[in-house]
Amino acid sequence: MLGFVTQQQIKAVIPAAGLGTRFLPATKAMPKEMLPVVDKPAIQYVVEEAVDAGIDDVLVIIGRNKNAIANHFDSVPELEVKLMEKGDTGRLERVVKSTDMGDIHYVRQGEPKGLGHAVLRARTHVGDSSFAVLLGDDLIDARDPLLTTMLDKHRETGATIIALMEVDPDSIHMYGAAAVEETGTDGFVKVTGLVEKPAREDAPSNLAVIGRYVLPPAVFDILERTEPGKGGEIQLTDALQELAADADGPGVYGVVFGGRRYDTGDRADYIKAIVQLAADRDDLGPELRPWLKEFAERL
Ligand code: UTP
């Protein structure tokens, strides 16, 4: 049974051990989570989001090419000295920020047997507490906070909390889809069932599961016995379905997210993320925005 969980106890788990086949050959020697989104790798945005939500212990699940991620969050004294000598305080600040983000730990997945399998690798580190999972290639715009709301809802209810987003019914086959009931609170629904990557006609709704979860430790026992599902992978969605079906447990609830989200594991979405984030920035926007307008007119 879940205890009352304080923000301090919550750890974040960031699975980043997938093969990233949609980005080959860029991801042949580099995890997709290290692809730059403007001037930071995608995973740094995700770690920053966890830290901004008050979490100071982050476990990254790494696969092959693990060193790139661990090196990124390590300090590089010679680089810092060089920037200091040049008086480049802006860049120095940005470099130091990437090494100064709470406690980051790493565990290997070994073989990429699916998201459920990656989450199970966090068991020893997380122990008997609830924890947050943030997918390393799924960016939530810092201007539209989601994780904080999810942690608050978890604290209020003790339930599993997932993030949902309305998608075009033609796209639901790329996500987990949720069957839901209203709770009476806007943007907060009870999840009664989940299906991984359903055909449009089999989808219970057009509410797609996106890459943020607040999970109870009970999910580990379920994942231990979850058989490979869709795509031959151990699916987190299948374990969530079991939590949702457990009439004696606290259940599964969804926070319906209406903000800006970028799936950087998808090539078109990755490009959109870079364009949108760069165009909104004070340092790059003034140059980019007029160019984008002119470019759009030429299309
Ligand atoms: P994806 O399904 O988007 O990742 O997993 P993928 O398999 O690497 O992508 P493609 O389809 O081959 O391009 C969602 C998240 O779960 C992680 C991924 O790194 C990504 O952050 N993941 C997935 C793991 O950590 N381990 C796995 O076995 C599978």
Task: Summarize pLDDT for 67-118 with one digit per residue, the tens.
Answer: 899 999 887 778 788 888 888 888 888 777 777 777 899 999 999 999 999 9
Whether the CB-CB separation of 98 and 44 falls below 8 Å is answered with yes
pTM, two decimal places:
0.93
Report the atom number in ligand 1 closest to the C-alpha of 23: 13
Q: What percent of the chain has pLDDT over 90?
A: 81
* Confidence tier at 7 by pLDDT (50, 70, 90): very low
* Average pLDDT value for the chain: 92
Report the atom number in ligand 1 closest to the C-alpha of 15: 25
Lining ligand 1 with CB less than 6 A are 15-22, 61, 109, 112-115, 117-118, 135-137, 265
The pLDDT, as a whole number, for residue 77 is 78
Q: What mean pLDDT do residues 266-289 have?
A: 96
Q: What mean pLDDT do residues 120-141 have?
A: 96
User: How many angstroms does the Cα of residue 16 sit away from the middle of ligand 1?
Assistant: 7
Class of domain 9-265: alpha beta
The pLDDT, as a whole number, for residue 1 is 41
Nearest CA, atom 25, ligand 1: 17
Please list the residues that pair with 190 across neighbouring strands.
181, 253
Helices marked H in the chain:
42-52, 66-72, 77-86, 89-97, 115-120, 123-126, 147-157, 218-225, 236-245, 267-280, 285-298
* Confidence tier at 135 by pLDDT (50, 70, 90): very high
Nearest CA, atom 22, ligand 1: 18
Which amino acid, residue 233? E
Q: What mean pLDDT do residues 163-188 have?
A: 95
The pLDDT, as a whole number, for residue 277 is 96
* Cβ-based burial of 4 (10 A; exposed 0-12, middle 13-18, buried ≥19): exposed
User: How many angstroms does the Cα of residue 215 sit away from the middle of ligand 1?
Assistant: 19
Task: Summarize pLDDT for 240-271 with one digit per residue, the tens.
Answer: 999 999 988 899 999 999 999 999 999 999 99
Q: Which of 3-12, 56-65, 103-112 has the lowest mean pLDDT?
A: 3-12
